[in-house]
């Protein structure tokens, strides 16, 4: 490995390289995170996909996330930006990736800049990536410390004509917090006003939406951890437990299986709280006769799982609860076959609405008059099913991808229909994560109990 690094150093200015060379003091087999090291070939492939879609004479820049402050000297746990992780596997703060596919100097076609590490930092914060570990993680041979960024990047910009900047273009993005990426882009535009700036988001949204086999394997692992949590709960839940106790049981099971924790803020909603779509207080007692809606998922190696199950607190659905549960299951089962290559999400959701309308009529929650007089912009079924049925999932729970282009093989979506009846204290949602395949879809959560009879049996063993 040291020989590979030296070979690439020869084509760069030796005054920089010799000055910042460091001894390799850390165990290169060390996994810096809870999860096992991911084969760097995944990130090599991902960068190749990006490079293939970039215009000539263009470079693209990706920054890690900040460590966000709370108050005093407190900070939130670090969470890496999904794009730089997708392209490099680097899972630490103060990192920059530059991709310049047709740079004249081969050593500058992929460059990683990292915060310099040493034994002192290792004592206070834990081990960070050194240059060899960064190569093992990412497959990137050219690695510099951050204090060399301005010098090396200026050399690259002198040759580049176009710069791909990485703005957050997720359709549901909405925050007033200025990110590290935002600050970098402001500085970049000010220093290099004559370059042409392009958007990396359309490229990343597309290539990230189609999962590599390694990514699907990581998502399967996250789902398997989620399964362990749900099976633990089926033995734990009973009238009198509190929602936060259920949350604690899940967290225990997730962490002991090397998940980083919950993929998103968990929803543990009993009784009428199950009709609140984003209920996260998780502070009520689960009472006899309540349903408990669990919208939870483990995160493993930054890949998310997203599951919903609705369980009877006493281990037995009432006749009406079972009637509604079975209706939701029928819609979900039909959705499984409707998600397929060539279909667009708007087409799919329109068909789901027809299925749900039929089920709601069967439950006597709607009648034909309601449907006849409905507002096309807000169909009658939306009264009891007000949210969408499927979204992309991957490195983000609401992952990136097109909402207008046809689905493709190896995209991964949730399926999560629900029926919410506040006046009856019934809220039921059921959700799995599905890999789209031309020969038949694959359910990453196919081993997690879902049928009402199986749930009742396991809860009463």
Identify whether 306 is a catalytic site residue.
yes
Separation of alpha carbons 438 and 95, rounded Å = 38
pLDDT at position 123? 67
- pLDDT 10s digits, 317-340: 999 999 999 999 999 999 999 999
Residue of 119, 147, 387, 424 with catalytic role: 387
Judge contact between 181 and 166, C-beta under 8 A: yes
* List 105, 398, 409, 437, catalytic entry: 398
Q: DSSP string of 271-309?
A: GGGGGSTT-----SB--TT-EEEEEE-EEETTEE--EEE
| 420 catalytic per annotation | yes
Catalytic hit among 420, 432, 433, 456? 420
Active site includes 244? Answer: no
Q: Active-site residue 115, yes or no? A: no
Model's pTM, two decimal places?
0.91
Per-residue confidence of the chain (461 residues) as pLDDT tens digits? Answer: 323 333 323 333 333 333 322 323 333 334 457 899 999 999 999 999 999 999 999 999 999 999 999 999 999 999 999 999 999 999 999 999 999 999 999 999 999 999 987 777 766 777 788 899 999 999 999 999 999 999 999 999 999 999 999 999 998 888 788 999 999 999 999 999 999 999 999 999 999 999 999 999 999 999 999 999 999 999 999 999 999 999 999 999 999 999 999 999 999 999 999 999 999 999 999 999 999 999 999 999 999 999 999 999 999 999 999 999 999 999 999 999 999 999 999 999 999 999 999 999 999 999 999 999 999 999 999 999 999 999 999 999 999 999 999 999 999 999 999 999 999 999 999 999 999 999 999 999 999 999 999 999 999 99
pLDDT of residue 303: 98
| CA Rg value for the chain | 25
Measured CA to CA in angstroms, residue 353 lies from 277, 334, 350 at distances of 18, 12, 5
Q: Could you tell me what percentage of the chain is helix, strand and coil, using 3-state DSSP and rounding each to the nearest 5? A: 40, 15, 45
Domains of the chain are 2-209 (3.40.350.10), 213-459 (3.90.230.10)
Q: What's the pLDDT score for residue 28? A: 37
Q: Which two tokens stand for residue 261?
A: 């924790």
Q: Has 73 been annotated as catalytic?
A: yes
Active site residue 159: no
Kindly name the residue from 416, 432, 433, 456 that is annotated as catalytic: 416
431 is catalytic: yes
Look at residue 332 in the predicted model and tell me its pLDDT. 98
Q: Which of 104, 120, 172, 278 is catalytic?
A: 278
Cα 40 from Cα 376, distance rounded (Å) = 49
Q: Tell me, what's the pLDDT at 122?
A: 67
> Please, are residues 304 and 396 in contact by the beta-carbon 8 Å criterion?
yes
Identify whether the C-beta of residue 432 lies closer than 8 Å to the C-beta of residue 445. yes
What is the spatial distance between Cα 210 and Cα 332, in angstroms, rounded to a whole number? 23
């Amino acid at each position: 490995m040291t020989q590979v690094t030296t070979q690439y150093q020869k084509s760069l200015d030796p005054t920089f390289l010799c000055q910042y060379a460091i001894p390799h003091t850390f165990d290169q087999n060390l996994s810096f995170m809870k999860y096992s090291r991911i084969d760097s070939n995944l990130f090599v492939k991902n960068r190749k996909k990006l490079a293939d879609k970039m215009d000539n004479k263009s470079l693209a820049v990706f920054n890690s996330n900040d460590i966000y402050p709370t108050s005093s000297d407190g900070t939130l746990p670090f969470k890496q930006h999904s794009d730089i992780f997708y392209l490099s596997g680097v899972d630490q703060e103060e990192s920059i990736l530059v991709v310049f596919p047709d740079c004249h100097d081969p050593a500058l076609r992929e460059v990683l800049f990292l915060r310099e590490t040493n034994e002192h930092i290792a004592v206070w914060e834990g081990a960070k990536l050194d240059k060899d570990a960064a190569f093992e993680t990412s497959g990137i041979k050219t690695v510099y410390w951050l204090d060399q960024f301005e010098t090396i990047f200026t050399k690259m910009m002198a040759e580049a004509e176009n710069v791909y900047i990485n703005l957050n273009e997720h359709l549901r993005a909405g925050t007033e917090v200025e990110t590290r990426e935002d600050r970098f882009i402001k500085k970049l535009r000010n220093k290099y006003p004559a370059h042409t700036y392009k958007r990396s988001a359309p490229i990343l949204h597309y290539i990230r939406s189609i999962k590599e086999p390694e990514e699907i394997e990581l998502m399967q692992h996250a789902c398997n951890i989620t399964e362990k949590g749900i099976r633990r709960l089926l033995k734990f839940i009973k009238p009198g437990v509190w929602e936060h106790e259920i949350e604690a049981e899940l967290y225990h099971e997730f962490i002991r299986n090397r998940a980083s924790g919950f993929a998103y803020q968990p929803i543990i909603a009993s009784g009428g709280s199950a009709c609140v779509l984003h209920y996260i207080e998780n502070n009520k007692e689960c009472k006899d006769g309540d349903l408990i809606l669990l919208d939870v998922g483990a995160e493993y190696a930054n890949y998310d799982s997203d599951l919903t199950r609705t369980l009877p607190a006493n281990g037995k659905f009432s006749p009406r609860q079972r009637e509604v549960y079975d209706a939701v299951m029928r819609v979900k089962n039909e959705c499984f076959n409707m998600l397929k290559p060539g279909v667009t999400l708007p087409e799919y959701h329109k068909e789901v609405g027809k299925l749900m309308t039929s089920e709601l009529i069967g439950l006597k929650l709607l009648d034909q008059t309601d449907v006849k007089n409905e507002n096309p912009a807000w169909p009658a079924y939306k009264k009891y099913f007000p949210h969408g049925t499927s979204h992309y999932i991957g490195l983000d729970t609401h992952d990136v991808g097109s909402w207008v282009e046809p689905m493709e093989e190896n995209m991964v979506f949730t399926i999560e229909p629900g029926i919410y009846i506040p006046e009856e204290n019934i809220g039921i949602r059921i959700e799995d994560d599905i890999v789209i395949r031309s020969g038949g879809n694959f359910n990453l959560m196919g081993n997690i109990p879902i049928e009402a009879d199986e749930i009742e049996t396991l809860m009463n063993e």
